[in-house]
Amino acid sequence: MTIDDTDRRILRHLQRDGRASLRQLATELGLSPTTVAARVARLEKQRVVKGYSGIFDSQTLGYDLTAVTEILVSKGKLLEMEREIAKLPGVCAVYDVTGEIDGIIVAKFRDREELSLFTKGLLTMPFVERAITHVVLTTVKEDFRLPV
């Protein structure tokens, strides 16, 4: 799939304001509403645009703890374990990585008790051999929006 400059302009605008109507988007970009609607539909169909959501302040919602957990999984069950972990409450990201560990999990919790239950729960999962949890002290940047 090729993304041209018009697609990029649409994507940049959607990233700034995903609530904008197609008509509003067309006006701001100087394009016809039909063109914008067709391009947005194509970008959605090709999964460049996977969905629309708000960006919230996790601490304002009571999620005061962020943890980054490294896991080591045995017997070739990494993807199976990662899919199960991804379903757990508070999990924001699950990554398959290279190096001495198999996966990295980023999760948010309201308090130490939630974090403790999560960490202990990981260790009871079949094939999870080791979990090393790091508690984030200061968040310098947390923004998954990409330059388009």
| pLDDT tens, position by position, 125-144 | 999 999 999 999 999 999 88
Q: pTM of the entire structure?
A: 0.82
Q: For 55-103, how does the pLDDT look when each residue is reduced to its tens digit (9 = 90+)?
A: 888 999 999 999 999 999 998 899 999 999 999 999 999 999 999 999 9
Indicate whether 53 pLDDT > 90.
no
| CATH architecture entry for 65-135 | 2-Layer Sandwich (3.30)
- 140-146 long-range CB contacts below 8 Å, 24 or more apart? 145/15, 146/15
* Per-residue tokens: 26: 């067309």
Q: Where are the domains of the chain?
A: 5-45, 65-135
| CATH architecture entry for 5-45 | Orthogonal Bundle (1.10)
| Bridge partner list, 135 | 67
